[in-house]
Amino acid sequence: MQPGMSVSFVARQAGVSPSQLFAWKRRMLEGGHAAVQADEDVVGTSRVRDLEKRVRDLERLLGRKTMENEILKEALDVVRPKKRTSPLLSWSDPTDGSR
């Protein structure tokens, strides 16, 4: 659309009604005002979809890594011998002078 072009001409070129162009313009302005009031950038839907897909992929990867971490922890618990401490050995002998 170039300056000086009529709404009817642009609507005919796009194959839509002039009222539809006005509705789109109103929605665009309302969305722009809402974004300015919220101090946020306006991004396209395709960008939002791409970012949502990226979040899903990262969440899936995080789930896999968390599961791997839990499996490794369980494996370490099985492999590591349990340290047993005797309460008698942990008491200090009053005759050794360590107290």
pLDDT single digits (tens) 60-89: 999 999 999 999 999 998 888 777 666 565
Asked whether the whole model's pTM tops 0.75, one would answer no
Query: What length does the chain have?
Result: 99
Does residue 54 have a pLDDT over 90? yes
The CA distance from 49 to 70, in Å, is 32
In percent, the amount of the chain with pLDDT more than 90 equals 28
Q: Which pLDDT score is estimated for 1?
A: 58
